[in-house]
Structure 1
């Protein structure tokens, strides 16, 4: 019953996905603590970044495989564009991560090796399991995205605009493909219970690897060993949980459809502004992406 309803909704409303170049530079002068007032939070975001070059190629391979089994041309196009957009994401994260490794964070090498082995093992699981994982992770991501975009002034005020602009670009595009993993799952391997388990599997696994990554970063900083640093991390983790939990709980409801979750108006402003800028400037032709003004009282879109 749930799968039929979800597929009908998917047939009725497919959101366009635009593939944009990750045109951001990460020169040597970018600090690991790129939010000077919140170094622990910056390292938590950095930790999540280290997961992306392992998670997102897995998602791309999974949805590309599923796409070959999809007969609906709209959903097949969704899957294709998702793969192209996610490829831009993990390539850009890889460049950013390499800039952090160059600063001496050698503790991440062992974590990345473990992640690579874990995702290689996950890639051998049945397609239905992998699609449920993808849909579950994307459900959590939608909650985190909406929370971070809505609270961008609190989170990114005074941050290095080069990194903040890169992170918010990725978050905006997460809202663009918020439907895809769910639609592909319903089209290829529908079923409520597997999808519900995928919400836990995908969300908790990514949280696990993000935590291992930022703990390695903070250990090298000497901040994980202090009571103050640990309390600040726990505080930020609680805020992330509060921000993502409503979307996770909604994803567990039978008949859930990501179309029912609205995103902040700033996302629409960013997408429209980028489209105008691309029509008139060099983005998409090798030009750098305009940067946010993280010193602004409103932090408007940078176009």
Structure 2
């Protein structure tokens, strides 16, 4: 088993980054493909309120943390997630201008997360959901990098998602460590939360994708065709999700820890380029070229 001390994987909040989101970005910015582009756009609509939910669920246990290192990691986790929400809200404003009802999507997200889950579930359960979603975002960061999903993306959006992925992996153990070490969440609750997240998140995403494609002017049968082709791209043997199935299933091991899966392959190149240039777009491009 790998050493799981997160001090070997520093969490670095990076603020006020310029991704050029006010530029002339194509509507179908990923491989000129409506489904692929809208799949990531749909996930983006959930991020601002989703990140706020994650921060709230981890903060529920902040006063019980007596480990200074973990407490510092929670602070940096909060800052990173806060920046993700800010940047994705900027991006979502572009999507809203394209005729997508982003405001309604966010209202429904707030209702589910803050009016239902945060009200009716115990704090341990919402923390377990947070750790489950953090596992899902980290494994997608690993898997989508390996599959070179962003190779044919607009450089500005590629930079945004690469930065987001880098930081998700940097802090991927924080919610998990609070859940295990502080909240003392049991195995059954931990894995049940992942099952719920695995069912709920794709359903919500595909409903939003359908709405976006409708806003793009595609009729019912054309949307069905695009969705079928897109689902095959995601779930076919050798597609995006099958190669990361083992990473996903590792969460069900009783002794699992997020750092057993290591860091992203392009992390060192991204970090060196960003630290040298301060340019997230250059760092995103360098990371793509490195693998």
The CA deviation at 1:250 is 0.2
CA RMSD of aligned residues (A): 2.5
The CA deviation at 1:276 is 2.9
Q: Quick check: 1:258 aligned with 2:245?
A: no
- Alpha-carbon distance between aligned partners in 2 of 1:72 and 1:217, rounded to the nearest angstrom: 45
The CA deviation at 1:223 is 6.3
1:280 is matched with none
Q: Quick check: 1:143 aligned with 2:134?
A: no
Whether the 8 Å CA contact 2:34–2:213 is kept in 1: the answer is no
User: Aligned in 2, Cα 1:265/1:230: closer, same or farther, shift over 3 Å?
Assistant: closer
The CA deviation at 1:23 is 2.4
2:128 is matched with 132
Long gaps (5+) in structure 2: none
Q: Report the TM-score when normalising by structure 1.
A: 0.84
- Alpha-carbon distance between aligned partners in 2 of 1:250 and 1:170, rounded to the nearest angstrom: 23
User: Aligned in 2, Cα 1:274/1:159: closer, same or farther, shift over 3 Å?
Assistant: same
Q: SS of 1:52's equivalent?
A: helix
The CA deviation at 1:55 is 0.8
1:110 is matched with 104
Long gaps (5+) in structure 1: 278-282
Q: SS of 1:194's equivalent?
A: helix
Q: Quick check: 1:40 aligned with 2:35?
A: yes
Q: SS of 1:290's equivalent?
A: helix
Whether the 8 Å CA contact 1:136–1:195 is kept in 2: the answer is yes
Q: Report the TM-score when normalising by structure 2.
A: 0.87
2:274 is matched with 274
1:30 is matched with 25
Q: Which runs of 4+ in 1 moved over 4 A?
A: 9-14
Count of equivalent residues: 281
The CA deviation at 1:244 is 4.1
Whether the 8 Å CA contact 1:199–1:248 is kept in 2: the answer is no
Match of 1:234 among 222, 227, 231: 231
Whether the 8 Å CA contact 2:11–2:76 is kept in 1: the answer is yes
- Alpha-carbon distance between aligned partners in 1 of 2:44 and 2:126, rounded to the nearest angstrom: 21
- Alpha-carbon distance between aligned partners in 1 of 2:174 and 2:28, rounded to the nearest angstrom: 33
